[in-house]
Amino acid sequence: MNDGGTSTEHRWLLLIHQLPSKPAYFRVKIWRRLQGIGAVAVKSTVYALPSNAETQEDFEWLLKEIAEGGGEAMLCEARLIDGLSDTQARALFDAARDEDYEEIAKDLRTLGAKLEAVTSPEQRAEARTQIGRLRKRLADVVAIDFFGANSRLLVEGLITGLEARLAEDKKMTEEPAKTAVETLAALKGRTWVTRKGVYVDRIACSWLIRRFIDPEAVIRFVPGKGYVPNPGELRFDMFEGEFTHEGDRCSFEVLLARAGLTDPALQAIGEIVHDIDLKDAKFAHEEAAGIASLIAGIAMANQDDGQRVAQGTPVFDNLYQYFRNKRG
């Protein structure tokens, strides 16, 4: 049983502006201000934000700044009718935030590699300072992540993993100590909840839940931001969820470990999901590129999350059988 949710119509704020050609620094200043409030360009001189009191205030201050600098600007609230859909507009915001998150992830991986050589208290203190700066950068991006972009979970997992390594004052093992195996019986008859707009990790987790944990599981798809779970729900691949990114492991890998599923074929699938989702080529399976293309095609052809899971299911069924035969 699925609950795919219903699409809602968004209202958008559009800042339409024209800046003087000189001085050049003023144009750069306005561009940086637009980036800082999370606006995205829908045309060369038209920037958008989702409509609410806070974003309206941000745009109004910017409009005033543009006028004082000799430019022209107008602010309007709009409903998208043709040419650009709400879904496409949201995708622009998610893509912009994913770029921000992936820059932070790159810096976190670099720092993680350096931690291998950290031995002295001074070095650990400096590493904590660097992590603090990266967490501040993360908080700044989260503040303008209006729809819950996919890569936030990746960065949250990486940064908490590094913090745990420093707190323990030792190298993180391949299986973090926080992993606790759940009994499969305790995971049956539950409602599972994940973010709308499912992609490889959430599709794979949904398949794993229905194939190996609870064939009758109810899976619901909810907004990525602001969702308050109901009693007894299990959230996966969601911020603060019960089963989500931990360290450098994707949600599928965490779910496998926590459910005590040790089938080598499932482990191989987890490695492929990891490489597609985290984009770090950690396991470098030759099958990953093909699976990534299949999932991308499913996502492009289906807006409905239930359909994405339904069409992704035979992909993972076949992949599972492939690894079973390959390792048999």
- Predicted confidence (pLDDT) per residue in 175-192, tens digit: 444 445 677 888 999 999
The confidence band for 8, taking pLDDT boundaries of 50, 70 and 90, is low
In this prediction, residue 169 has a pLDDT band, given cuts at 50, 70 and 90, of: low
Over residues 38-64, mean pLDDT:
94
What is the model's pLDDT at position 225?
A: 80
Report the chain's terminal Cα–Cα distance, integer Å.
33
Res 75 pLDDT > 80: yes
Radius of gyration of the chain, Cα coordinates, nearest whole angstrom: 22
Task: Please state, for a pLDDT cut of 70, what percent of the chain lies above it.
Answer: 93
Mean pLDDT across the chain? 89
Asked if residue 168 has pLDDT above 80, the reply is: no
Q: What integer pLDDT is reported at residue 120 of this predicted model?
A: 83
The CB density around residue 302, as the number of other CB atoms within 10 Å, is 16
Contact between 204 and 299 under an 8 Å Cβ cutoff? The reply is no
Domains (range + CATH), the chain: 9-78 (3.30.70.240), 86-168 (no CATH), 184-327 (no CATH)
44: confidence class by pLDDT, cuts 50, 70, 90 = confident
Question: What sign has the CA pseudo-torsion 159, 160, 161, 163?
Answer: positive
Confidence of residue 158 (pLDDT cuts 50, 70, 90): very high
Distances (CA, A) of 138 to 33, 97, 132: 18, 10, 10
